């Protein structure tokens, strides 16, 4: 787990590359996950080295130009009208990094910092920032050595780049500030670089600005969130199928021809997963042969594909935005392909901030419908013959009564976290930066949202497995059996009340690691 409770997937994908080559427009979302979470090494392409060398020559030519050029011969932000003498221009860049490394609060997770570092390297590698190849090569050396700058949670407004977080990373390249080494030990950056055999850099014209002017932090968290959410949505499909077995639900509503009448791709995918999860289930078959068959289940069951599918489609939209951002050169000013040095507004985080907020809304709703399904299994008026609260001896035992309380508390928190950050803006830099995205804040709360939603789905899985067991001697289908067997390796079956918190945590770990999803996938085909 991460230090602030956010999900950290520890099961490495077999497809995770050992080495990621950073080139112009070539970085893939899976590359970011591989470097951030699985320690993949990074190298720079020859194409990028050539592009950086070419654009650096443009900046060098401007060093003695009497005309002012932002970031080369002027101050920054509201101080852009200040002309900087030639002899102070190197100091200008160093001062920028030192003054902007001003974060505060809880430490940002290692995987987030690594993603941020890789994405800044990716922008440097486009050749549009005007830095020397040495800067990118040193950055890569620090990342490959497992050195992680220590960054506080607060300090970015999501505009003019994730300034404070990126500045802490840039400060480490100078051999200043505090970092953690590959073993997680806190130490001074100079000591860590020396131990890794890395020479600190001395910044030259524009290089400090190029190191801090980007959406890399919020984009990194978006890409990690997409990785988590794709897994969580499919796990929620599996959880819904388990609950339907526990409640002897109706599977006819998930038929593909019904989904085709409303052709949202995510809905169709989730319906397919649920239907596959219910295939060959004696529990579902029993509900059709026991006399009266319920024509319709409650919305939380019947409409699961519509809700889960909408989350899927929101994730796909966010992934489209992320892919565009991955292909971007976010800096100000930039060196254009024809050799001009131009100011721009591409550092504004609105495109990323919006989808981060969209995802927080969708994540809250995914958790909400999961909690509603869980509650149905606990209520004897709606559970179709199960013991109240799935208690072994109702009255003496409380069963999973308070597990649902835990879900409800999390869902309530997720609703608060779903309030968009991107609708807020606090002007900064003496009104020069008078509209900011708050995209970093949107990303931070989304990480908390995903953690909470994962816990809610885990409680549904835990509760559904108990409900299925209490339906004995009837058995679940292949998917339900595979997931229940996995859960039973960590949590005993129904019986008198036990200490419940460790059981919830154990299944949370099974869900967050991807093991529940892998167990389900071993018994059927999921999309």
Q: What residues act catalytically?
A: 70
Distance of CA 346 to the CA centre of its chain: 22
DSSP string covering 56-77: HHHHHHHTT-SS--TTTTB--G
Cα torsion 499, 502, 506, 512: sign: positive
DSSP string covering 340-384: -EE---TT--HHHHHHHHHHHHHHHHHHHHHHHHHHHHH-TTTSS
Closest CA to 229 of 350, 372, 416, 365: 365
Collapsed DSSP state (helix, strand, coil) of residue 454: helix
Token pair for residue 163? 């300034």
Burial class of residue 310 (count of CB atoms within 10 Å of its CB; 0-12, 13-18, 19+)? middle
The full length of the chain comes to: 527
> Residue for token digits 């950086």?
52
Closest CA to 341 of 122, 130, 133: 130
Burial class of residue 468 (count of CB atoms within 10 Å of its CB; 0-12, 13-18, 19+)? buried
DSSP string covering 156-206: --SSSSSHHHHHHHHHHHTT-SEEE-TT--EEEHHHHHHHTT-PPP---TT
Token pair for residue 344? 């721009």
Q: Please state, in angstroms and rounded to a whole number, the distance separating the CA atoms of residues 110 and 211.
A: 19
- Give the CA count within 13 Å in the CB-facing half-sphere of 467: 35
Burial class of residue 154 (count of CB atoms within 10 Å of its CB; 0-12, 13-18, 19+)? middle
Closest CA to 110 of 197, 10, 202, 247: 10
Token pair for residue 452? 């909470």
Q: How far is CA 67 from CA 64, 73, 208, 280, 339, in A?
A: 9, 8, 20, 76, 16
Q: What share of the chain is helix, strand, coil (3-state, %, to 5)?
A: 55, 5, 40
Q: Under 8 Å CB-to-CB from 441, ≥6 apart: which residues?
A: 156, 158, 421, 424
Collapsed DSSP state (helix, strand, coil) of residue 313: helix
Are the C-beta atoms of residues 133 and 49 closer than 8 Å to each other? yes
């Amino acid at each position: 787990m991460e230090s602030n409770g956010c999900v950290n997937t520890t099961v490495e994908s077999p497809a995770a590359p050992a080495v990621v080559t950073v080139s112009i427009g070539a970085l893939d979302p899976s590359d970011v996950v591989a470097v951030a979470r699985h320690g993949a090494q990074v190298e720079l392409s020859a194409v990028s080295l050539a592009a950086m060398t070419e654009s650096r020559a443009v900046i060098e030519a401007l060093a003695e130009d009497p005309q002012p050029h932002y970031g080369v011969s002027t101050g920054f932000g509201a101080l852009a009208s200040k002309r900087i003498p030639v002899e102070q221009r190197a100091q200008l860049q160093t001062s920028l990094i030192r003054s902007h490394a001003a974060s505060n609060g809880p430490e940002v997770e290692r995987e987030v910092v690594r993603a941020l570092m890789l994405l800044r390297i990716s922008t440097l590698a486009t050749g549009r920032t005007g830095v020397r190849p040495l800067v990118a090569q040193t950055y890569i050396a620090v990342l490959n050595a497992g050195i992680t700058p220590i960054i506080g949670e607060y300090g970015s407004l999501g505009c003019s780049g994730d300034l404070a977080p990126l500045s802490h990373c840039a400060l480490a390249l100078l051999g200043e500030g505090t970092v953690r080494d590959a073993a997680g030990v806190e130490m001074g950056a100079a000591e860590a670089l020396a131990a890794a055999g890395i020479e600190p850099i001395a910044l030259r014209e524009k290089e400090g600005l190029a190191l801090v002017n980007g959406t890399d932090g919020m984009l990194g968290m978006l890409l990690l969130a997409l990785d988590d959410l794709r897994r969580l949505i499919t796990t929620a499909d599996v959880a819904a199928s388990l609950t339907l077995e526990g409640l002897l639900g109706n599977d006819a509503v998930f038929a593909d021809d019904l989904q085709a009448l409303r052709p949202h791709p995510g809905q169709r995918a989730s319906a397919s997963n649920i239907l596959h999860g219910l295939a060959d289930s004696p529990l579902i078959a029993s509900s059709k042969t026991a006399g009266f068959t319920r024509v319709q289940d409650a919305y939380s069951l019947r409409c699961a594909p519509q809700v889960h599918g909408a989350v899927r489609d929101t994730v796909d939209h966010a992934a489209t935005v992320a892919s565009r951002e991955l292909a971007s050169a976010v800096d100000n000013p930039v060196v254009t392909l024809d050799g001009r040095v131009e100011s721009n507004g591409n550092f504004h985080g609105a495109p990323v901030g919006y989808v981060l907020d969209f995802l927080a809304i969708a994540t809250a709703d995914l958790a909400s419908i999961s909690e509603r399904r869980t509650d149905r299994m606990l209520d004897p008026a709606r559970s179709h013959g199960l013991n109240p609260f799935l208690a072994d001896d109702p009255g003496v035992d409380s069963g999973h009564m308070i597990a649902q309380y835990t879900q409800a508390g999390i869902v309530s928190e997720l609703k608060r976290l779903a309030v968009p950050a991107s609708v807020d803006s606090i002007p900064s830099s003496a009104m020069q930066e008078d509209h900011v995205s708050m995209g970093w804040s949107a990303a931070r709360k989304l990480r908390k949202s995903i953690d909470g939603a994962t816990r809610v789905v885990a409680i549904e899985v835990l509760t559904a497995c108990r409900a299925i067991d209490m339906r004995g001697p009837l058995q679940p289908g292949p998917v339900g059996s595979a997931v229940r067997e996995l859960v039973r390796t960590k949590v005993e079956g129904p019986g008198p009340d036990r200490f419940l918190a460790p059981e919830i945590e154990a299944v949370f770990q099974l869900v967050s690691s991807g093991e529940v999803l892998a167990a389900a996938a071993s018994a059927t085909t999921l999309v």
